[in-house]
């Protein structure tokens, strides 16, 4: 008897001797070994949708800030969040959106494991068997409709990998909605809109136009008559963010009454230029503007990454010195502004705000949040899914990775409180109107460079600040991020939100000994979840000390990680 699953999978045989793993941001590696993974992700997404009685599941084909020859795939949950919470939804598949967000019971990453297993099955028959085993294990009725929404970034391999996904979905008899090119956050937005359409929690119109209209309208409302000063130059990493930002601009106030945006590095015709010498990762890692930048002194600039889910700001001062305003800065700016709005609207007795960071957050940013803003800070492992989950536990959770990934999320109860609150004075009403507009401006599903960028512009306009004033809120500790090539990065195991190594034995003690000698020194090492390397981070009171500390820890890791090489 014909087996459509095995037949679909047989069209895309796996590459020899590659072991796939669903990492920090899904499956991500060289595009030429991903065909089989794509088809199988189609199967997993179909199963997931069926487990949720036909809810839309998202598939995003992207490798974000990685080189043009890479690609990857991420699965997106019904509310636009990441795979981690799948099991929550499995335990409570019939409850509504509100119930689910309030429920914190789930076992970590069960479905990520299933996806990894699926990707590593060797024969089409084994894949088909695994598909049925998952259905059995989770009592999934394979007759239930499955619905999957897909988008991709502008990589050359995207079209081929999309056809693999579509074959997988066809094999599983799933309905597929292909949005073509979208930014990652736009795809998350579509998933959430499609699943909430017609409900009390309707998120917006599930179209590109709906996305632009929502952002454009909220931006105008949030500005509340204030005018951003000067212009903003946006480096789009030669990725999908370029054409999408150009479209979004049509929905923003005209430049005379709003913000003048210059779109640069938006060459999607040459996919080989994606993320090359430009984009958020280049700027953050090299701590300098893209070489192509023509920005003058004090010009406001920002860079997106290849799939437009992260943004960082920067400028050169009058002495030609480069200054970076990264994710930590965006978090502190947003937390201070939203905290003020909550207070000014009279809501501070009912709502609390918190900030979530990773170990890569600059120590000065953490101090500023605790000491100046007097807010709670949580530290999670690297990866947006962990930050998002921690932020979900707060009334208003501001979460950002230092590299510019992040957003602000409002709990369901908070949204209700904000919606129902009756202001008691004109001042309270004004603050409340702006707060409500910010809720609509901020992408609640996932960190979104375009939405975050507009939020920053709103805040700067309200505070009447340029980047220099924003920068002067605190001084970053000089820091350095290095990548160490090791024989097998899996031997590096961490604890305490990845801030301490438990294996190999003794390595953490060596790091501690060195760190102790450095003024304001902090350093840690962890295996990357997206690249074959161990990352070393170091910060200290001065640039020279930070660099020196990073080098010393680099050596420790290199020695510990060089196994069996003469």
Ligand X SMILES: CC(=O)N[C@H]1[C@@H](OP(=O)(O)O)O[C@H](CO)[C@@H](O)[C@@H]1O
Ranges assigned E (strand) in 411-548: 479-484, 493-495, 500-503, 522-527, 534-539
Is 461 annotated in a binding site? The answer is: no
Q: Which does 326 bind (CB under 5 to 8 A by kind): ligand X, Mg ion, none?
A: none
Return d(Cα 333, Cα 431) in angstroms, integer: 17
Residue 379: both structure tokens together? 């530290």
64 a catalytic residue = yes
Binding status of residue 382 toward ligand X by CB under 6 A = yes
Binding status of residue 64 toward ligand X by CB under 6 A = yes
Return d(Cα 443, Cα 407) in angstroms, integer: 7
Instruction: CB nearer to ligand X: give 64 or 116.
Output: 64
Residue 530: both structure tokens together? 């997206």
Binding status of residue 401 toward ligand X by CB under 6 A = yes
Return d(Cα 441, Cα 237) in angstroms, integer: 23
Binding status of residue 524 toward ligand X by CB under 6 A = no
Q: Which does 360 bind (CB under 5 to 8 A by kind): Mg ion, ligand X, none?
A: ligand X
Binding status of residue 528 toward ligand X by CB under 6 A = yes
CA 227 to chain CA centroid, Å, is 29
* Alpha helix stretches (DSSP H) within 174-326: 184-196, 208-223, 241-249, 279-286
Q: Which does 24 bind (CB under 5 to 8 A by kind): Mg ion, ligand X, none?
A: ligand X
Instruction: CB nearer to Mg ion: give 305 or 378.
Output: 305
CB of 281 to ligand X, least distance (A): 8
Catalytic residue among 17, 36, 49, 64: 64
Instruction: CB nearer to Mg ion: give 266 or 309.
Output: 309
Binding status of residue 403 toward ligand X by CB under 6 A = yes
Is 545 annotated in a binding site? The answer is: no
Instruction: CB nearer to ligand X: give 249 or 398.
Output: 398
Is 307 annotated in a binding site? The answer is: yes
Binding status of residue 508 toward ligand X by CB under 6 A = no
Binding status of residue 25 toward ligand X by CB under 6 A = yes
- Contact, 187 vs 309, CB < 8 A? no
List the one residue from 9, 237, 283, 384 that touches ligand X (CB under 6 A).
384
Return d(Cα 260, Cα 233) in angstroms, integer: 9
Return d(Cα 539, Cα 116) in angstroms, integer: 35
Q: List contacts with Mg ion (CB under 5 A).
A: 64, 305, 307, 309
Q: Which does 528 bind (CB under 5 to 8 A by kind): Mg ion, ligand X, none?
A: ligand X
Residue 430: both structure tokens together? 């004004």
Ranges assigned E (strand) in 217-327: 231-235, 260-264, 300-304, 311-316, 322-325
In this structure, the dihedral spanned by the alpha carbons of residues 430, 431, 437 and 443, taken in order and rounded to 10 degrees, is: 180
Binding status of residue 327 toward ligand X by CB under 6 A = no
| Residue of closest CB approach to Mg ion | 64
* Contact partners, residue 397, CB within 8 Å, separation at least 6: 353, 354, 355, 356, 390, 391, 408, 409, 411
Instruction: CB nearer to ligand X: give 401 or 545.
Output: 401
* Alpha helix stretches (DSSP H) within 345-493: 363-367, 384-392, 412-420, 426-441, 449-463, 467-471
Binding status of residue 405 toward ligand X by CB under 6 A = yes
Q: What separation, in Å, do the N-terminal and C-terminal C-alpha atoms of the chain show?
A: 55
CB of 59 to ligand X, least distance (A): 17
Return d(Cα 484, Cα 556) in angstroms, integer: 10
List the one residue from 155, 480, 535, 552 that touches ligand X (CB under 6 A).
535
CB of 459 to Mg ion, least distance (A): 22
Instruction: CB nearer to ligand X: give 216 or 383.
Output: 383
Hey, is 548 helix, strand or coil?
A: helix
Can you say which residues are annotated as belonging to the binding site for Mg(2+)?
A: 64, 305, 307, 309
Site residues for ligand X per CB under 6 A = 24-25, 64, 360, 382-384, 401, 403, 405, 528-531, 535
Binding-site entries = 64, 305, 307, 309, 401-403, 526-530, 535
Active site residues: 64
């Amino acid at each position: 008897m014909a087996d459509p699953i095995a037949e679909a999978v047989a069209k895309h045989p796996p590459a020899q001797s590659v072991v796939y793993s669903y990492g920090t941001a899904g499956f991500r590696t060289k595009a030429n070994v991903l065909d089989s993974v794509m088809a199988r992700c189609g199967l997993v997404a179909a199963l997931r949708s069926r487990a949720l009685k036909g809810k839309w599941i998202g598939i995003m084909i992207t490798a974000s800030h990685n080189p043009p020859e890479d690609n990857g795939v991420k699965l997106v949950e019904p509310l636009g969040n990441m795979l981690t919470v799948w099991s929550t939804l499995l335990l409570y598949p019939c409850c509504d959106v509100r119930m689910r967000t309030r429920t914190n019971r789930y076992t970590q990453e069960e479905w990520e494991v299933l996806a990894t297993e699926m990707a590593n099955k060797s024969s089409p028959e084994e894949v088909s068997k695994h598909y049925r085993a998952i259905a059995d294990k989770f009592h999934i009725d394979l007759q239930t409709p499955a619905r999957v929404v897909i988008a991709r970034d502008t990589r050359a391999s995207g079209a081929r990998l999309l056809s693999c996904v579509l074959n997988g979905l066809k094999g599983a008899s799933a309905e597929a909605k292909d949005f073509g090119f979208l930014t990652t956050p736009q795809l998350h937005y579509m998933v959430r809109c499609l699943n909430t359409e017609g409900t009390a929690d309707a998120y917006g119109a599930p179209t590109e136009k709906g996305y632009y209209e929502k952002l454009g309208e909220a931006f105008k409302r949030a500005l509340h008559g204030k005018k951003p000063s000067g212009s903003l130059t946006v480096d789009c990493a030669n990725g999908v963010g370029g054409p999408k930002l150009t479209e979004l601009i049509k929905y923003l106030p005209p430049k005379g009454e709003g913000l003048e945006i210059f779109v640069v590095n938006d060459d999607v015709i040459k996919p080989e230029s994606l993320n090359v010498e430009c984009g958020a990762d280049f700027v953050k890692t090299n701590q300098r503007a893209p070489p192509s930048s023509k920005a003058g002194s004090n010009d406001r600039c920002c860079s997106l990454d290849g799939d437009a889910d992260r943004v960082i700001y920067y400028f050169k001062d009058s002495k030609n010195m480069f200054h970076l305003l990264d994710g930590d800065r965006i978090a502190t700016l947003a937390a201070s502004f939203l905290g003020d709005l909550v207070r000014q609207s009279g809501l501070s007795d009912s709502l609390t705000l918190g900030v979530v960071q990773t170990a890569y957050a600059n120590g000065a940013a953490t101090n500023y949040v605790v000491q100046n803003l007097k807010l709670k800070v949580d530290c999670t492992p690297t990866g947006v899914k962990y930050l998002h989950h921690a932020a979900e536990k707060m009334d208003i959770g501001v979460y950002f990775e230092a590299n510019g990934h992040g957003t602000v999320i409002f709990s369901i109860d908070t949204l209700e409180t904000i919606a129902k609150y009756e202001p008691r004075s004109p001042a309270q009403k004004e603050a409340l109107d702006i707060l409500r507009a910010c809720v609509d401006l901020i992408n609640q599903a996932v960190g979104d460079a375009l939405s975050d960028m507009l939020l920053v512009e709103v805040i700067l306009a309200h505070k009447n600040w340029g980047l220099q004033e924003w920068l002067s809120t605190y001084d970053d500790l000089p820091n350095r991020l290095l990548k160490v090539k090791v024989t097998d990065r899996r031997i590096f195991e961490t604890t305490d939100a990845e801030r301490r190594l438990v294996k190999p034995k003794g390595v953490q003690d060596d790091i501690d000994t060195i760190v102790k000698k450095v003024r304001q020194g902090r350093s840690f090492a962890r295996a990357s979840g997206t690249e074959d390397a161990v990352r070393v981070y170091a910060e200290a009171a001065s640039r020279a000390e930070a660099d020196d500390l990073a080098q010393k820890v680099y050596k420790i890791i290199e020695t510990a990680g060089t196994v069996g090489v003469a």
